[in-house]
C-alpha cells in the first residue's frame, strides 16, 4: 500500500528551478532511498515533503490525504517525522529536553513511554540524559536527532544524510539502527550520499540528477548498474 506519493512536484528557490517535476512513492514497510550528487535536490525534496518548502506545482499525498498547504508541525501529528541534515539538535538543551521537544505532538501521558522506547533503542542517550546536547560527540548527536524524530511515533521517518561527518565505524552503527527501526515496522525514506550503504539496506531506490529522477528501481538492481557504480560508487 502506498503510504507517501509525490506527483510531479516543481520547487523553486527564487528563479532557480531546483526540483523539476519528480514523482515517486514510498509503500508501507519499505526503506526507499534517494541518492545523487551534491546539489541534485535530495534535501530539497525531503524539506518539501516535510512542509518546510512549498512546491509551485504538483501534489504530495500521505495515506491518501493531500499535504499541500499543511503546516510542517501539523504533518508531524499526521505521522511524518524528519531527521534533518546536520542534525539541528537544540545545543543548549539537555538530551532529555531535546527528546521531549520531539514528542510535543503526543499526549503528555505518553511522553514517558516514548522516552523509554528511545532510551531502549539508544542506550548511550540514557547514559547522557542530563548532559547538554551540544557537548555530545557527532555520533551521539546523530542518535539524538534520530531519537527526537522517533518521539512522535512516526509512520514515515525521513532521514536526511544520517551518516554525514561520521567515522566509518559510526556510520555502520547508524545504518544498523536504521535496519532495526525498519525491522520494527517503521517505513523509512532515506536521503544519503553514501550510496553504497544506502542501497545495501533499501528496498527501492531513486537516483536524482539536478532536480530530476534519472533512474529508479529495485535497490539491488540500481546498485549493480554500471552508470550508478561509476557515478556514485567509484567503480
Least confident of 17-21, 81-85, 216-220: 81-85
65-66 sheet: strands from edge to edge = 16-27, 2-13, 57-62, 65-66
Quote the percentage of the chain above a pLDDT of 90: 58
What's the rounded Cα separation, in Å, for the pair 116 and 109?
A: 13
User: What are the tens digits of pLDDT across the range 97-145?
Assistant: 999 988 877 777 888 888 999 999 899 999 999 999 989 988 899 889 9
At 183, which helix (H) or strand (E)? helix 168-183
Cell matching residue 108: 503528555
Confidence of residue 174 (pLDDT cuts 50, 70, 90): confident
Query: Reading across the β-sheet that carries 212-218, which strands appear in turn?
Result: 80-83, 156-160, 187-191, 31-36, 204-209, 212-218
pLDDT in tens, 35-61: 998 889 999 999 999 999 999 999 999
Q: Are 31 and 201 in contact (CB under 8 A)?
A: yes
Residue-wise pLDDT tens digits, 190-232:
999 889 999 999 999 999 999 999 999 999 999 998 888 887 7
Q: Give 18 or 75, the one with higher predicted confidence.
A: 18
> Phi and psi of 47, rounded to 5°?
-65, -30
Label residues 166-181 b or e (16+ Cβ within 10 Å = b).
Answer: beeebbebbbebbeeb
Contacts of 10 (CB under 8 A, 6+ apart): 17, 19, 20, 21, 55, 56, 57, 58
Residues sharing a CB contact under 8 Å with residue 164, sequence separation 6 or more, in sequence order: 85, 86, 193
Tell whether the model's pLDDT for residue 87 goes beyond 80: no
Instruction: Give the integer Cα–Cα distance in Å for 92 and 98.
Output: 9
> What are the start-end ranges of the E strands in the chain?
2-13, 16-27, 31-36, 57-62, 65-66, 80-83, 156-160, 187-191, 204-209, 212-218
Amino acid at each position: 500500500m502506498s503510504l507517501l506519493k509525490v506527483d510531479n512536484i516543481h520547487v523553486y528557490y527564487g528563479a532557480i528551478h531546483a526540483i523539476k517535476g519528480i514523482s515517486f512513492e514510498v509503500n508501507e514497510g519499505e526503506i526507499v532511498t534517494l541518492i545523487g550528487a551534491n546539489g541534485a535536490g535530495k534535501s530539497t525534496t525531503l524539506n518539501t515533503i516535510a512542509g518546510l518548502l512549498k512546491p509551485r506545482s504538483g501534489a504530495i499525498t500521505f495515506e491518501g490525504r493531500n499535504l499541500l498547504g499543511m503546516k510542517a508541525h501539523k504533518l508531524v501529528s499526521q505521522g511524518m517525522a524528519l531527521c534533518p541534515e546536520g542534525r539541528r539538535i537544540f545545543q543548549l538543551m539537555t538530551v532529555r529536553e531535546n527528546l521531549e521537544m520531539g514528542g510535543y505532538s503526543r499526549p503528555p501521558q505518553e511522553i514517558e513511554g516514548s522516552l523509554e522506547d528511545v532510551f531502549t533503542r539508544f542506550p548511550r542517550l540514557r547514559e547522557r540524559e542530563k548532559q547538554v546536547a551540544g557537548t555530545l560527540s557527532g555520533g551521539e548527536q546523530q542518535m539524538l536527532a534520530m531519537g527526537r524524530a522517533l518521539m512522535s511515533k512516526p509512520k514515515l521517518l525521513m532521514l536526511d544524510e544520517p551518516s554525514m561527518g561520521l567515522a566509518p565505524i559510526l556510520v555502520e552503527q547508524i545504518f544498523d539502527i536504521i535496519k532495526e527501526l525498519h525491522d520494527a515496522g517503521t517505513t523509512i525514506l532515506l536521503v544519503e550520499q553514501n550510496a553504497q550503504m544506502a542501497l545495501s539496506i533499501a528496498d527501492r531506490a531513486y537516483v536524482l540528477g539536478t532536480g530530476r529522477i534519472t533512474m529508479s528501481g529495485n535497490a539491488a538492481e540500481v546498485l549493480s548498474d554500471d552508470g550508478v557504480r561509476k557515478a556514485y560508487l567509484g567503480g
